[in-house]
Structure 1
Amino acid sequence: MSVRWGIGWTEGGTVAGTVTDGRVERGNQTRRLVLGRTMAIASVEGLEGLSIGRIAGELGLSKSGVFALFGSKEELQLATVRAARAVYVDRVVRPAEEAPPGLARVRRLCEAYLAYSRDRVFPGGCFFTAVSAEFSARHGAVRDAVAAARTEWIAYVRGLIDEARRAGEVPGDLDAAQLTFELVAMLEMANSDSALHGDDTSYDRAQAAITARLSAASSR
């Protein structure tokens, strides 16, 4: 069984079937509005570009109202990471889960990532690639949240490759950690090239490289 990367988790939502009063629902709507904006900003400017005052001003909200929802800049940053993770699950992980276990699921995951980046779900490209670079040499709760999300993502990719091995679609002696590294590197290179240079041919190159690498890894 592969690692299931947070299927069903959402940020700032309510439990299905829970009855909420108007104030709670308005608070949830405001929270979703704020996090939609903070994710977009952070994907371009980084998480340090966020502040309660800035977000309140841009969205026409009261600073005290936004503060009541998040309490501090750090909590706003952490909530943004959690919200981006939920989007990532929905746009990248969930499509892969719809494919059968094995290399088909690995291929679908890579295709979903490239589509997520190409479609600019976040205006700066992959949210986690951007904030991982920003916090790679820092310390603290936000860095830990970013690092945990990346560790979980790598483990998920590795888990899908292990599934393919158990299904007999790749050799038993395949170095799954190495293949995981190569696939993630290709995906992130395509994202970075497109974001920096505006050249979407990187997605086609990445797709061709991934197809060739998975074909070489296949035992069939």
Structure 2
Amino acid sequence: MPRTASKGEATREAILDAAIDLAREVGLSALTIGALAERAGMSKSGLFAHFGAKEELQLAVLRAAQSRFDDEVSRIAFQAPRGLPRLRELFERWLGWAAAQRQPGGCLMIAAASEFDDRPGPVRDFLASQQQGWLLGLGRTVQFAVETGELPADTDTEQFAFELFGLILSTHHHVRLLSDSRFVARARQGLERLISAPPRQPS
């Protein structure tokens, strides 16, 4: 039987839900214990008991956002067969997560990366590590399609993953800033173009 969350765990999850929503609205850098206490209807001292300082709260929010992404995107997509079915499923779920969310701010990880890309510290380090791991995971997914024979043996998997990531970032920008969902279809076309003419390793 699944383990039942304790009252403390349930409270922490509810706080993190509120914190993620607030961070999407105001930005991760503006997320403070005080602002979250007002949003969650709790005392500052109560939140300090869960997170301590502002930076600890920001990191906890990023970990929670990453966990939700994994639940809704990665874990489901990786149940698809290796090769192009998994690659397409991963892209489709990721595309929906990044571009189709209706909450203010869209994907918190993308927004936070833009906020903290030139701010040294643990938050930036976490975001950089998360993105590096994601690019490696994308590269492995492309490599599986090479191993199944669905992509050429000399496919440059790192370049493929780089361009795939670029499609997502571009779609997030265009859909949210220009409010034009037609760019989701353009992203899908971009994926099919990559599959039909993948980047090749230098001979």
Fold conserved between structures, TM > 0.5: yes
- The residue aligned with 1:69 is 50
What is the distance in 2 between the residues matched to 1:169 and 1:17?
41
Deviation of the 1:216 alpha carbon: 2.4
SS at match of 1:125: coil
Aligned mate of 2:118, from 137, 141, 165: 137
Aligned mate of 2:41, from 60, 68, 73: 60
- The amino acid across from 1:46 in the alignment is G
- The residue aligned with 1:176 is 157
Pick closer, same or farther for the CA change 1:26–1:17 going to 2, 3 Å.
closer
Using the TM superposition, name which of 82-91 and 38-47 deviates more: 38-47
- The residue aligned with 1:81 is 62
Aligned mate of 1:193, from 155, 162, 174: 174
- The residue aligned with 1:159 is 140
What is the distance in 2 between the residues matched to 1:27 and 1:105?
37
- The amino acid across from 2:127 in the alignment is V
Pick closer, same or farther for the CA change 1:47–1:208 going to 2, 3 Å.
same
Deviation of the 1:122 alpha carbon: 4.9
Superposed counterparts of 1:19-30, under 5 Å? 25-30=6-11
- The amino acid across from 1:162 in the alignment is Q
Moved over 3 A (4+): none
2:183 is the counterpart of 1:202: yes
What is the distance in 2 between the residues matched to 1:84 and 1:138?
20
2:109 is the counterpart of 1:128: yes
% identity of equivalent residues: 37
- The amino acid across from 2:66 in the alignment is R
Pick closer, same or farther for the CA change 1:149–1:109 going to 2, 3 Å.
same
TM-score by length of 1: 0.84
Cα contact 1:41–1:50 (8 A) shared by 2: yes
Cα contact 1:44–1:130 (8 A) shared by 2: no
SS at match of 1:217: coil
Cα contact 1:128–1:150 (8 A) shared by 2: no
Deviation of the 1:133 alpha carbon: 0.8
Pick closer, same or farther for the CA change 1:121–1:145 going to 2, 3 Å.
farther
Cα contact 1:99–1:108 (8 A) shared by 2: yes
What is the distance in 2 between the residues matched to 1:122 and 1:113?
16
- The amino acid across from 1:195 in the alignment is R
What is the distance in 2 between the residues matched to 1:155 and 1:121?
28
- The amino acid across from 2:33 in the alignment is I
Deviation of the 1:193 alpha carbon: 1.1
- The amino acid across from 2:10 in the alignment is Q
2:73 is the counterpart of 1:92: yes
2:115 is the counterpart of 1:149: no
Using the TM superposition, name which of 124-133 and 75-84 deviates more: 124-133
Of the two structures, which has the highest relative contact order with CA contacts closer than 8 Å and spacing of 6 or more? 1
Deviation of the 1:190 alpha carbon: 0.4
Count of matched residue positions in the alignment of Structure 1 and Structure 2: 199
Cα contact 1:43–1:123 (8 A) shared by 2: yes
Cα contact 1:44–1:123 (8 A) shared by 2: yes
Cα contact 2:95–2:168 (8 A) shared by 1: yes
Structure 2: unaligned runs, 5 residues or longer: none
* RMSD, matched Cα: 1.9
